Structure 1
Amino acid sequence: MNLLKPFLEETRGAVMVEFTIIFMLLFLLTGGIVDFGHLLYQWNSAEKATQAGVRAAVISDPVATELADFDCDNASVTLGTPCRNGGTSFGIVECRGGSCTCAGLPNGCTFSAAALNPILAPMQKMFPRLQAQNVIVEYEDVGLGFAGRAGPVPEVRVRLTGLTFEYAFLGSLLGLSNITMPDFRATLVGEDLSSKGA
């Protein structure tokens, strides 16, 4: 017992031990704050990119090229009749990853990378690591417009998908895996769907 007594009464170096414990906790806390701030920044940038993309999409040529020539008139509808009153509907057209799906267009639809570029460019200014495969552009016929109008008045929706957040600090230190971000979406009513006026 006498051998341990001097060791137990020794107080030199106690501050160093306390500092080491507190420093590690403060280091982790600071890293967590930095990572959380970076996550919020990335999240907000993706949301703003989606808003910029849908704004560009409503004033740009449709990504599905055949959509520009769609008219809701058919043999039973007279010109000037609102599309919601019996006109032909194209349903939902979805363009993603280099192709478009469209059940309601009579001639099918063709994906246009040239039409996607004016939508993607302002999005990448807001969120630089965004790629074309992360962007989905949807056009939904909601019955707006009238028979004989040049082009449809769809609801345009831009979605971002497949984005992940990579930790800058805590991931490598604590072995945390990347966070899969949810889909971001923004919707506006189509305007002229033409890049000619932009």
Structure 2
Amino acid sequence: MFKIKIKNTTYGVSFSFFFVVALVSVCSGTQADMLFVTLMCCALHELGHLVLMTAFGSSPQEIVVYGGGIRISPDNKQLSKYHELAVLFGGAAVNFALCLLSYKANGGGFFCQVNFLLGALNLLPFRYFDGGRILALLANGKVCEFFRAVFILLSAAAMIHMILHGTVSISFAATFCFIVLSEVIY
């Protein structure tokens, strides 16, 4: 990983990011466009977090770009619970707003779909996602664990249903594996 510190923020680029860039470069036409749009939507999601973080007087301690997106680590300055909730909701709010604007402008399309799915995915109650952090701020540990377990079971049921009906989505399978691993390791 390449890292550089400018003022009080460390910026990093993981080698997995370069893999994604290489993947985009070998794809052609529509595939490359779709990957680029997806990466752009991820960046806009994180920009939503950054704007609210800055508005509440906090700044990122570290920003790392990697193959799966962007990770922002806030500085040590404590935000109030409500400001932290707003920052966590900020990314999904940007995605949902862009989805709505895209839908109103041209009836939807890929940009609309990606923003909706990205916003919804990030609100799932898993530790690694914004929704898991929101749940941890709003509920005690046992309630969080219950919701996480329910969503893992629902995801597993969806995966089994897809396997039985021959409609397995590679991206859903990869996301499911990532979620289970992050819940166990995190």
TM-score, structure 2 as length reference? 0.27
Larger radius of gyration: 1
The structure richer in helix per residue is: 2
TM-score, structure 1 as length reference? 0.26
